[in-house]
Chain A
């Protein structure tokens, strides 16, 4: 279980997180929604330790994430970045097998390559992609490779940062289905941040709405449409008028 309690983060005078409280239960898929610039990525990066909160606590199974063995902590996570964040200088299979070829459980090259190809197959890519470089792939293929890298070391927790941004609706559907299948099949805890409502309905067990640096509403996906929360209603229906100020 991941628990965020009263998490604050500011960048100068920009107060991004203003006391976030959120719980993600083990084996469930939490989707955090909210407008652009509301701090969704900062929230996710705070859990991973890529951003240090100014105050508040973040725990994973009751252990503070800022303490203890950092490598062992990160080894429990997989992450799909918004733009894929594939390493340009490495071929696809080495991107996927990056963690497998380093650290304590380092695997020999041939074994790591076999696993990478198996993971590429899992996300719908053929083995001939393995020796290509990221720049030779389309945006959708890069997302799939990023997904293969996120699951390569069979993590317990996977984070998805805007998984469908920049993709056409069909490819978005494919990625959403893949994420849902993988989360169910691997039994992982998942946290996704997005503002794509199609993704939310495809991926989420639970939803949290982040606005003004705090969680305005959280609950099961089944309750989302009848939440009665004006912020959530405006967001999910994409209305220009409501409590969320739309800059024109």
Chain B
């Protein structure tokens, strides 16, 4: 009986701890967003974050999209051949990339690159007292460090997803035309004919949500980093893992909202 009570107590403690974490992250997000409406605004930090998060993530997101588009074309061709439906390759590649794989894989790549770097940077600032120094210099760390990064990621990731969609479709096109003997004009015609504006837009909205999650997790774990190299390491790992899980979970919810009948 004691063992059962012990297990239940442990389960209860874990549940409360998880709920407390959710509450802390929600308060952190609300605090971040509240600074959107209150000056001063740090334009230079925002521009710097846009370059770091958006522009410098372009190669990794582009390469991911290119190879994913190519592999997707091969898979759909092989699967479609089982019931003589090889011609669906262009449309399925386009829909699959724009609705799901573009935003999700792009988001995960940005999480790996950006959440880790934000958490490590801010965590190091925390342990070297740079965040305390900001406060003593009358600068709110949430306003100076968190808001520019969260805003930049929320705006930049959907654009990355858009560019990734184009590159991914090009990957499918190259494989379709080069390896699977599709006619180039027919491939493009089928892609553009089947693709709807909402397919692209829904993916970009997902990208925006994923960007928000990535930067928020990076900042949250960075600012709450414990002392020492191990503390920063733990913060970095937690930021990437939590951002990745939240991306996949929110992707399911958004897909339900956008596409359930």
Contacts and interface: CB of A to CB of B under 8 A. Distances in A.
Nearest to A70: B138
Interface residues of B, number: 14
B129 A102 contact: no
A49 B138 CA distance: 11
Most buried by A among B124, B135, B138: B138
B136 A79 contact: yes
Q: Name the prevailing secondary structure of the B interface residues.
A: helix
Contacts of A77: 136
Contacts of A87: 125, 130, 133-134
Contact of A81 (B124, B129, B138, B139): B129
Given A79-B133, A102-B40, A85 B128 contact: yes
Interface string A42-68: 000100111000000000000000000
Nearest to B139: A102
Interface string A67-90: 000110011010101110111100
Contact of B132 (A50, A71, A98, A149): A50
A103 interface: yes
B185 interface: no
Interface residues of A, number: 22
B130 A85 contact: yes
Interface string B152-193: 000000000000000000000000000000000000000000
Most buried by B among A48, A85, A86: A85
B1 interface: no
Nearest to A159: B136
B257 interface: no
Contacts of A81: 129, 132-133
Contact of A82 (B125, B129, B136): B129
Interface in B88-142: 124-125, 128-130, 132-139
